[in-house]
Amino acid sequence: MALDLNDPDLELPDLVYAYQTWVLAVLNDEKLNPEGEKLCTDEIADDALSAARFLPGDVTATVESTLARAYDVDPEELSDLLYPEDED
């Protein structure tokens, strides 16, 4: 089910959940289970990127750093996994 940004019942925790789901899916697909079934779908990625537009940078940074720490992944490596097009 896609995130409906026009839903009047949509709250901050819904946006955080969508972003967190994407980060976890990317971590799973790239670091924890690279040979297994991929969890990160286009819908998950689209929802997360839409949610990120409305989340303060501190919130997305906290989600990323907390999950990187929890899964013993370097924060810079996680950033590269999440945003590979940002590499120079």
pLDDT in tens, 75-84: 999 999 999 8
Domain ranges of the chain: 19-86
pLDDT at res. 2 = 81
Cα 3 from Cα 88, distance rounded (Å): 31
State pTM to two decimals.
0.90
Cα 50 from Cα 4, distance rounded (Å): 10
- 37-44: Cβ within 8 A, 24+ apart: 43/2, 44/18
Mean pLDDT of 65-79: 94
pLDDT in tens, 15-65: 999 999 999 999 999 999 999 999 999 999 999 999 999 999 999 999 999
Q: Where are the beta strands (DSSP E) in 1-88?
A: none
Contact 24, 67 (CB under 8 A): yes
Cα 5 from Cα 14, distance rounded (Å): 10
